[in-house]
Structure 1
Amino acid sequence: MSDNPTLIADIGGTNARFALTTDAPRYFQQAQTLEAAEFEHVSDAIDTYLHSHNIKQLKAISLAVAGPIRDGKVTFPNSHWSIDCHSLRARYHTDHVKLLNDWEAISYSLSCLDSGDLINIGGTWDGLPDSDYTVGALGPGSGLGMSGLLRRNDVLIPLVTEGGHAGFSPENQLQGEILAYLHQKFDDRISRERLLSGPGLVNIHEALCEIHGQENPGLIAADIAVAGINKTDPICEETFDLFFEVLGQVAGDIALALGANDGIFIGGGICQRYPNQLLASRFRKGFENKGRHSPLMKDIPTWLITHKNPGLLGASVFAQTNL
């Protein structure tokens, strides 16, 4: 390990995962997860990590963060932390400090995922080409993340988007009824994230209870998922099936919008937690159902990311190529 290594991190509202960059194919080492709630400031967590690994000086810092970045600063919507690049440069005596959107980091990770990091969920794929390519990524978790990655003349270009907040478009009568219910609940436009997220599972379940004239038991997302998987509740089962079908529809929209003919990658905690259900679902049907463009969609591969730390992986790829 270098005397002055590069620190990378993937920081969300609950956990902060730290590591150090290393050469391919590993990309990072000494990974350690710390809970944000245990530290007043992000620098306290960094200091703890550096002390644990006996690191005195850093070459650079590359942090993937789950929050909006403005002028080198981020305030987390689900945490008391805020991060300022200027403060980190001064504290750790390095000019090389960069904040990345968490899905920007995942975009960078796509360039180095291999078959051991992926599960195929439709289409055929022999790996990304050595030439130019365009791919997309999305994933439901606490929200709906979405991004893309272009390779042009050996340069990686991430596409950072807020596509999860684009409007939801129903593709059949049942989805239209769900949209109508959600309009009543939220009294405003309905984004894709209102369905494709942990809270989105709850929204779909509530809507289906109303549509089927059943009492809403007020289940949380985890309970809906368990009941759907175990087939102990028909509405929970329908909720889970519809969730993945809508995810496929949106993934197909992203492929068309970005021209991502080289593939769409699915991440996010929900899909990674339930890979068998995703594989058995109507995801691919929703993905390919694009009218006159359906033949094109059949040729676009879709993959579930199974790598445990794509955010760290992407932060490392960025650091090694840009810092």
Structure 2
Amino acid sequence: MVAKPWHLLADIGGTNARFALGDVGSGEIHIPLTVSVLDHPTFMSALQMYLSFVEDSGDWEKRPVDGCLAVACPTDREHVTFTNSDWVIDRENLGFSLEIPRLKIINDFEAIGYAAASFAVNDWEQIGGGESRPDKALTVLGPGTGLGVCGVLPTTTGVNVLPGEGGHVDFAPVGKEETEIMRLLLSRYSRVSAERLLSGTGLQNIYWALTQLHGEPQRHATPADISASALVGDDPVAVEALAVFCRVLGSVAGNLALTFGSLGGVYVAGGIAPRILEFLRGSDFRERFLAKGRFREYLEDIPTRIVVRNDPGLFGALKFLQSRHS
């Protein structure tokens, strides 16, 4: 059997690193592998393990023809340092040392932007709004370990993805309860960004603040415990925390839709939203998305879509590489 050429794909967040390969011939994604960042002292350790894993399969060429690393941090420096982990990638030496001459490093939400432009209808679940307009900009945001944001602009030859660090804009509270949460979080942080509420740690922050406001004990220590308790309804403070999370998510999504003019739709990716999908449907998420005063009507037809595809970062890394070969 002749070994087949392949693209190296990676989606690297603060908690997990996901690897896969893209078949150059068919465009299909194969051999996915997820590893915990904490289980590997360096990125190179995790990557070398995956390259050996592919080589041992015997079906693929020893080295990929190119690669795309989608990373959860800014990518405009020689030494790529992660916001939510201790990993560092040496951009200059990585491709050379691995014998991968065309190795690209992009922001993880830039990758999801490329994915969103090619999503099929079963890749998302819609909450409100009408049809997307394919000739107009779309927005992607995603709470997970952090809060990622990007804009996507269609062109006659594909799409332009505008990566950024929109998760770190100032949090703007709406109403008395969020103002009180903001006040309490300012006692912990010198500045409160959107990510301080819209992330796993953000859900913990909201829950902590509400226990302080209500004089209740903290019954849950992790974001997973808080959301699990909220979904079954056995802790009223956890239910309220998740409801606040959904409201703030709607507000930030609406702000981004106005910023980008996202008549092509707003996609909510990341690890949290798909797991709370039904709670999100019943929350004030969509109402807060629309609650922009004179621009409510402008937003009403914009669809808000929860990404349920399990590999959007890897799919986006593949789409990025394919766009460079088209």
Whichever residue aligns with residue 7 of structure 2, its letter is T
Q: Match of 1:119, SS?
A: strand
Report the equivalent of 2:136: 133
With over 3 angstroms needed to count, the CA separation of the structure-2 counterparts of 1:233 and 1:93, relative to structure 1, is closer
Report the equivalent of 1:237: 239
Residue number among 160, 163, 167 corresponding to 2:166 in the alignment = 163
Whichever residue aligns with residue 13 of structure 1, its letter is G
Contact 1:19 1:312 in 2 (8 A): yes
Give aligned-pair identity as a percent.
38
Report the equivalent of 1:183: 186
Instruction: Single out whichever of 21-30 and 225-234 deviates more from structure 2.
Output: 21-30
The whole-number CA distance in structure 1 between the counterparts of 2:36 and 2:166 is 29
Instruction: Single out whichever of 2-11 and 250-259 deviates more from structure 2.
Output: 2-11
Report the equivalent of 2:58: none
Residue number among 222, 225, 242 corresponding to 2:227 in the alignment = 225
CA shift for structure 1 position 2 = 6.7
The whole-number CA distance in structure 1 between the counterparts of 2:78 and 2:156 is 28
Report the equivalent of 2:255: 253
The whole-number CA distance in structure 1 between the counterparts of 2:102 and 2:320 is 12
The whole-number CA distance in structure 2 between the counterparts of 1:239 and 1:203 is 9
Whether 1:76 and 2:76 are equivalent positions in the alignment is: no
For each residue in 1:245-275, what CA deviation from the matched residue of structure 2 results, as whole angstroms up to 9, or x when unmatched? 1100110000001111110000111112111
Whichever residue aligns with residue 151 of structure 1, its letter is P
For each residue in 1:186-211, what CA deviation from the matched residue of structure 2 results, as whole angstroms up to 9, or x when unmatched? 2x232111111111112212222222
Q: Match of 1:159, SS?
A: strand
CA shift for structure 1 position 281 = 1.1
Report the equivalent of 1:50: 51
Whichever residue aligns with residue 244 of structure 2, its letter is L
Residue number among 271, 274, 295 corresponding to 1:293 in the alignment = 295
> Structure 1: any 5+ residue segments left out of the alignment?
none
CA shift for structure 1 position 309 = 0.8
Whichever residue aligns with residue 272 of structure 1, its letter is P
The whole-number CA distance in structure 2 between the counterparts of 1:168 and 1:153 is 36
With over 3 angstroms needed to count, the CA separation of the structure-2 counterparts of 1:2 and 1:264, relative to structure 1, is farther
Report the equivalent of 2:93: 87
CA shift for structure 1 position 108 = 0.7
The whole-number CA distance in structure 2 between the counterparts of 1:296 and 1:106 is 25
CA shift for structure 1 position 216 = 4.1
CA shift for structure 1 position 232 = 1.1
Report the equivalent of 1:105: 111
> Structure 2: any 5+ residue segments left out of the alignment?
56-60
The whole-number CA distance in structure 2 between the counterparts of 1:225 and 1:156 is 35
1:284-323 matches, cutoff 5 A: 284-322=286-324
CA shift for structure 1 position 6 = 1.6
CA shift for structure 1 position 184 = 2.6
The whole-number CA distance in structure 2 between the counterparts of 1:209 and 1:40 is 36
The whole-number CA distance in structure 2 between the counterparts of 1:64 and 1:317 is 12
With over 3 angstroms needed to count, the CA separation of the structure-2 counterparts of 1:120 and 1:80, relative to structure 1, is same
For each residue in 1:71-93, what CA deviation from the matched residue of structure 2 results, as whole angstroms up to 9, or x when unmatched? 34312344443222322221233
Residue number among 34, 46, 64 corresponding to 2:70 in the alignment = 64
Q: Match of 2:188, SS?
A: helix
Contact 2:169 2:194 in 1 (8 A): yes
With over 3 angstroms needed to count, the CA separation of the structure-2 counterparts of 1:77 and 1:257, relative to structure 1, is closer
Contact 2:6 2:24 in 1 (8 A): no
Report the equivalent of 1:147: 150
The whole-number CA distance in structure 2 between the counterparts of 1:226 and 1:43 is 34
CA shift for structure 1 position 112 = 1.1
Whether 1:32 and 2:33 are equivalent positions in the alignment is: yes
With over 3 angstroms needed to count, the CA separation of the structure-2 counterparts of 1:122 and 1:31, relative to structure 1, is same
